[in-house]
Amino acid sequence: MLLTLAWGSLFFPGLFALCTWGLRRARPAWSDSDCVMISTRLVSSVQAVLATGSGIVIIRSCSDVITDRHWLAREYVWFLIPYMIYDSYAMYLCEWYRTRDQNHRHSLTTFRNFLSKNRLMVAHHAVILFVLVPVAQRLRGDLGDFFVGCIFMAELSTPFVSLGRVLIQLKQQHTLLYKVNGILTLTTFLSCRILLFPFMYWSYGQQQGLSPLRVPFSIPFYCNVANAFLIAPQIYWFSLLCKKATRLFDTAPAKKDG
């Protein structure tokens, strides 16, 4: 546990520093804000790939969705804790660099602006650290590694979301890459962050000989409540992505007609 925490504490901030340094040397015309923001997205994408890979390994190794075990189900959570702490600071750092022209010092105003603009994401990180981590590492006992692997799979959409943000930062919204990436973002987000939950219910039902509609009434009530809390922000974020996609593909025909 301690070794994994130490590796995570070195890996994510170190990768961020390396990416920032490399971008500043490779793209001297880019602002500090661009380099920091893109480095943050690169680190998020790397973490997402690691989490998704861990999820695939866990799911494939657990034939029994309740009792089968895999060491990654616990060990990767310890690796994830430093990432969540680092990512919270990295988001604040992006906000500080963005407003640095008006305010050269770290201030309470900058921090308040950061919390105001990112309150849902900050709450998301806090829930993971203070609720999901204790559940995953202690409260669930030795059961449910399969479902932990499923939750890791939710990160599959992150690289596409990150690429979209980078393209916006570089003012590349007009490109074909941005539109194709938007479709992939919607597809992976829907599949791995929303349909993931019916899949977990279906997987449990297949093993227990239950129809998916009977599963919610056959598991502890708190499991349904926890899943509802987890899926609610995903549906909200997916609705925002759909609105952005609608605006993107609506403006393209409008420009062509004009």
DSSP letter, residue 154 = G
Per the CB < 8 A criterion, the answer to whether 77 and 83 are in contact is no
| CA 194 vs CA 77, 190, 233: distances in Å | 21, 5, 10
**Confidence band for 82, pLDDT divided at 50, 70 and 90:** very high
Instruction: Tell me the per-residue pLDDT of 20-70, one tens digit each, with 9 for 90 and over.
Output: 999 999 998 888 889 999 999 999 999 999 999 999 999 999 999 999 999
**Which residues fall within 8 angstroms of residue 96, CB to CB, at 6 or more apart?**
106, 110, 114
Give the start-to-end residue ranges of the domains of the chain: 2-252
- Residue-level pLDDT at 163: 94
Instruction: Tell me the per-residue pLDDT of 98-156, one tens digit each, with 9 for 90 and over.
Output: 776 555 566 677 788 888 888 888 888 898 899 889 988 888 888 899 999 999 999 99
- Cα–Cα distance for residue pair 78/83, rounded to 1 Å: 9
**Which residues fall within 8 angstroms of residue 216, CB to CB, at 6 or more apart?**
201, 224
The pTM assigned to this predicted structure is 0.87
Look at residue 80 and tell me whether its pLDDT is greater than 90: yes
- Residue-level pLDDT at 105: 64
What does pLDDT average to over the chain?
Answer: 89
